[in-house]
């Protein structure tokens, strides 16, 4: 196999089975009255520049022999592989089905649940400005999510070989402003906003009985358990919602940037990552 094919194949192999933390803002800044139900069903994409860059440095056809041999003799290849593994765990490229439902509590509040890929999220939203009074709607929310997963394709085999476990929890706060189309947004709305998030990661490596051979030495890979890291993300969002009365088509884009920090990996220098994540979304929204 041509090694350049591996460079191309790895990003696409990951893209086919993406799984990422729920961060795309799927909200117009409004809430319903007590007992009102709002739902959303659609797709969310995730394009993290840090992961795509890291994945492009490691060829699938070169990683496969290492997985089969269960040892490492190429320090540079091992370094690229661990960088890709950490990056994919932090921010996985791909597309996921998303479904969420929110119920009005009164006083401008809504509470809801969201399922996206393998992640669960719970949210509380508050509308503090109404277009009926000010010409614009505005609301602020908070969403908590948790996620852990196995990576796909050859990277998944590499994950198992190194005994890599990864879990992340996110708290995200969006602030959204919107202009309704028609009375009470009967025909939809358009809007924009700001978003900030705090992420905590817990991870560890348990490469039981795996050796590395370079620099004239043969050593067992060290075990690194119960590692923690946290980082902040920030960015913006925009959306367009069109339809009639109770059903609308929703299209949006959320863009976030973050410095993921420094992650320890067995028998090499720490992996340091930063980048921008682009989160396009398309779905159907209803309110009853």
Pairing, β 37-48 against β 94-106: antiparallel
CA distance 252 to 191: 9
Residue 22 included in any domain: no
Q: Note whether 21 and 145 are within 8 A (CB).
A: yes
Cα separation, 25 vs 145, whole angstroms: 13
Residue 97 is assigned to a structural domain of this protein: yes
What's the pLDDT tens digit per position in 226-236?
899 999 999 99
pLDDT value, residue 140: 98
Q: Quick check: 4 pLDDT over 60?
A: no
Q: What is the CATH number of the domain that holds 92?
A: 2.40.128
| pLDDT of 89 | 86
Nearest to 39 by CA among 97, 96, 109, 99: 99
Instruction: Give the least confident one: 153-157, 159-163, 255-259, 283-287.
Output: 153-157
pLDDT of residue 18: 55
Torsion of Cα atoms, 203 then 145 then 260 then 267, to 10°: 10
* Residue 41 placed within a domain: yes
pLDDT tens digits for 179-231?
999 998 999 999 999 999 999 999 999 998 888 887 778 888 889 988 999 99
What is residue 253's three-state secondary structure?
Answer: strand
> 63 versus 88: which is more confidently predicted?
88
**Could you read off the pLDDT of 251-277 as tens digits, one per residue?**
999 999 999 999 999 988 899 999 999
Q: In which domain, by residue range, is 230 found?
A: 3-17+27-287
CA distances from 78 to 34, 71, 128, 266 (A): 56, 10, 52, 10
Say how many C-beta atoms besides its own lie within 10 A of residue 273's C-beta.
22
The tokens for 197 are 């998030």
266 within domain boundaries: yes
Do residues 181 and 188 touch, judged by C-beta distance below 8 A? Answer: yes
With a pLDDT cut of 90, the percent of the chain lying above it is 61
State pTM to two decimals: 0.89
108-133 pLDDT, tens digit per residue, is: 999 999 999 888 999 999 999 999 99
Residue 227 is assigned to a structural domain of this protein: yes
For residue 149, what pLDDT band results from cuts at 50, 70 and 90?
Answer: confident
Measured CA to CA, the distance from residue 155 to residue 98 in angstroms comes to 24
User: Span 79-93, mean pLDDT?
Assistant: 86
Within-domain flag for 120 = yes
Number of domains comprising the chain: 1
- The mean pLDDT value of the chain amounts to 87
* Inter-CA distances, 154 with 23, 31, 150, 197, Å: 26, 44, 11, 31
Q: Give me the sign of the Cα torsion angle 214, 219, 220, 223.
A: negative
Q: What's the rounded mean pLDDT across residues 28-32?
A: 95
User: How large is the C-alpha radius of gyration of the chain?
Assistant: 22
């Amino acid at each position: 196999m041509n090694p350049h094919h591996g460079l191309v194949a790895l990003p696409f192999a990951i893209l086919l089975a993406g799984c990422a933390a729920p961060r795309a803002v799927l909200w117009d800044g409004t809430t319903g009255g007590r007992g009102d139900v709002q739902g959303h069903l659609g797709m969310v994409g995730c394009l993290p520049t840090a992961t795509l860059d890291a994945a492009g440095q490691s060829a699938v056809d070169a990683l496969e022999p290492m997985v089969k041999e269960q040892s490492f003799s190429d320090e540079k290849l091992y370094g690229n592989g661990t960088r890709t593994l950490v990056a994919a765990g932090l921010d996985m490229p791909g597309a996921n089905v998303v479904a969420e439902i929110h119920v009005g509590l009164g006083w401008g509040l809504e509470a809801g649940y969201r399922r996206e890929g393998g992640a669960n999220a719970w949210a509380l939203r508050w509308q503090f400005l109404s277009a009926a009074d000010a010409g614009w709607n505005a609301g602020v929310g908070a969403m908590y999510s948790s996620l852990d997963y196995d990576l796909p394709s050859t990277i998944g085999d590499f994950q198992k070989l190194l005994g890599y476990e990864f879990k992340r929890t996110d708290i995200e706060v969006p602030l959204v402003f919107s202009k309704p189309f028609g009375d009470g947004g009967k025909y939809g709305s358009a809007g924009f906003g700001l978003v900030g998030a705090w992420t905590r990661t817990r991870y560890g490596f348990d490469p039981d009985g795996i050796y590395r051979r370079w620099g004239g030495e043969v050593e067992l890979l060290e075990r690194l358990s119960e590692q923690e890291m946290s980082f902040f993300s920030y960015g913006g969002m925009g959306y367009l919602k069109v339809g009639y009365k109770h059903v609308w088509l929703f299209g949006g884009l959320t863009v976030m940037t973050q410095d993921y920090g420094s992650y320890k990996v067995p028998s090499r220098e720490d992996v340091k990552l930063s980048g921008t994540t682009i989160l396009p979304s398309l779905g159907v929204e209803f309110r009853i």
